[in-house]
Structure 1
Amino acid sequence: MTTDPIADYLTRLRNAIKANHRIVEIPASSIKKDITKVLYDQGYIQSYKFEDNAVQGTIKIALKYHPVTKQPAIVSLVRVSKPGLRKYVGTGNLPRVLSGLGVAVLSTSKGVVTDKQARDLNVGGEVLCYIY
């Protein structure tokens, strides 16, 4: 059992990208499903499918690569808020990743959203990770 399931999720994605895998399977949870939807909406993954075959279920993610250069769409995944030290931000301190080129994923009272969506909704929350 892992103490930080979000870090495990990001590590599985990172390892699959480094090994040039097309599909990665990850044990499911509601927060992981929400993060997967954000990754898909932002164009970092090609597709995803939630399978509820076991007690916990799995998430199958098809990773996205450039068709010619074979470079992955996700360059970096960085876990920000950890179980030992949570990082919360207010509406005035929302992070900008690579001057707006990257995405910060936040867990807010309105659900799991990006930093841009949090600005539009005028909410703050826990910064889960940075993606670029």
Structure 2
Amino acid sequence: MNISDPIGDMITRIRNAQMRGKAVVTTPASKLRVGVLEVLIKEGYIRSFSEVQVGNHTELSIELKYSEGTPVIEKITRVSKPGRRVYSSVKDLPLVRNGLGISILSTPKGVMSDATARVENVGGEILCQVY
């Protein structure tokens, strides 16, 4: 199956799994998805992920994180979409929930959170926002 928005697909799978209270969700593997998941682990929004070989393709198994039965990710939204890309310079990066949330960016230095992008002094495409 050909997916036109792989990051949007992964975000939707995570959101749907959390609404159902699932502990683990799977999604097809790609380098960009791995980059986004590494940022989510570093920021404490998911427990872990691993690559699983299913037949002749690789999938990512994502272990979701809950705090007293409620999902740690309160809301996760896609910002830049295939029909409308959203880019931001380092000085124009928006704060998510007054700094309580994060934006995940795709930069020339790799996929990183907005705080890391400010430290690295680099802007890029805003993939999603999480809080």
Question: TM over 0.5, yes or no?
Answer: yes
Q: Which residue matches 2:62? A: 61
State the one-letter code of the partner of 2:127.
Answer: L
* Alignment deviations for residues 40-76 of structure 1 (CA, whole Å, 9 cap, x no partner): 111001111112444431111111111xx31110010
Q: Distance in 1 between matches of 2:41 and 2:66?
A: 13
Q: Distance in 1 between matches of 2:53 and 2:78?
A: 26
* Alignment deviations for residues 6-29 of structure 1 (CA, whole Å, 9 cap, x no partner): 100000000000000000011111
Greater per-residue strand proportion: 2
Tell me the percent identity. Answer: 43
Correspondence 1:33 to 2:43 = no
State the one-letter code of the partner of 2:83.
Answer: G
Supply the RMSD in Å over aligned alpha carbons. Answer: 1.0
Q: What pairs with 1:1-132 in structure 2 (closer than 5 Å)?
A: 1-66=2-67, 69-132=68-131
Unmatched tracts of structure 1, length 5 or more: none
User: Do the aligned partners of residues 54 and 107 (structure 1) sit closer, same or farther apart at CA in structure 2, a change above 3 Å counting?
Assistant: farther
Q: Distance in 1 between matches of 2:117 and 2:56?
A: 33
Q: State how many pairs are aligned.
A: 130
Q: Which moved more, 1:1-10 or 1:46-55?
A: 46-55
**Runs of 4+ more than 4 Å apart:** none
TM-score, normalization by structure 1: 0.95
Q: Contact 1:104–1:130 at 8 Å: present in 2 too?
A: yes
* Alignment deviations for residues 72-109 of structure 1 (CA, whole Å, 9 cap, x no partner): 10010100000100000011101210010001000000
State the one-letter code of the partner of 2:91.
Answer: G
Q: Distance in 1 between matches of 2:122 and 2:25?
A: 32
Q: Contact 1:29–1:56 at 8 Å: present in 2 too?
A: no
